[in-house]
């Protein structure tokens, strides 16, 4: 079974048609993200950072860049007070997965993300939506994130 994918028309990460990947690889990538996001949503900062390569990098929508696990952990710890008394959930969908034509252990993944926050009374708020571009690599048989670039969604310019 393979994923049929057409041309990515999103402004961020727009590319030529993506070659289909196997159903097994698609499921593996979805499972990787499910585990990665459950760690961050549970505030398991070290566990989340461990899903990145040692020199992994995140470029946030505001332009701030974190390189390496230690910087990621420090940045996340500094933001912990924002998450007091709320449950955060990251929702990913519309994954486009592309294998690297030169290195079979490298994947380029683009997806949409929605973040919800639920307070103690059960009220849910939605955060802005984003398009994310990841480079995943396979090391010792498991997937890790080598780089993540986060783009805040904005209306498409009409010309």
- The string of pLDDT tens digits covering residues 37-81 is 999 999 999 999 999 999 999 999 999 999 999 999 999 999 898
For residue 6, is pLDDT > 60? Answer: no
Question: How is residue 88 written in tokens?
Answer: 């955060």
Distance of CA 125 to the CA centre of its chain: 20
Q: What per-residue confidence (pLDDT) applies to 17?
A: 60
Least confident of 15-19, 67-71, 138-142, 154-158: 15-19
For residue 123, is pLDDT > 90? Answer: yes
Distance CA 41, CA 28 (A): 20
State whether the Cα torsion 62-113-90-118 is positive or negative. positive
**Residue range 2-18: mean pLDDT, rounded:** 46
Q: What per-residue confidence (pLDDT) applies to 54?
A: 97
The CA distances from residue 69 to 45, 51, 52, 142, in Å, are 10, 9, 7, 17
Q: What per-residue confidence (pLDDT) applies to 159?
A: 78
For 16-105, strand residue ranges (E) read: 52-59, 65-67, 86-99
């Amino acid at each position: 079974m393979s994923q049929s994918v057409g041309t990515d028309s999103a402004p961020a990460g727009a590319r030529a048609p993506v070659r289909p990947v196997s159903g097994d690889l698609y499921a593996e990538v979805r499972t990787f993200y499910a585990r990665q996001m459950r760690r961050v949503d549970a505030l398991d900062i070290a566990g989340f950072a461990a899903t990145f390569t040692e020199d992994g990098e995140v470029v946030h929508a505001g332009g701030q860049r974190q390189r390496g696990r230690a910087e990621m952990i420090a940045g996340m710890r500094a933001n912990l007070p924002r998450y007091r008394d709320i449950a955060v959930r990251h929702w990913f969908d519309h994954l486009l997965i592309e294998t690297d034509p030169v290195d079979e252990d490298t994947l380029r993944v683009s997806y949409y993300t929605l973040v919800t926050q639920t307070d103690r009374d059960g009220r849910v708020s939605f955060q802005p939506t984003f398009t994310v571009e990841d480079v995943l690599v396979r090391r010792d048989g498991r997937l890790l994130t080598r780089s993540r670039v986060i783009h805040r969604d904005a209306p498409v310019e009409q010309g």
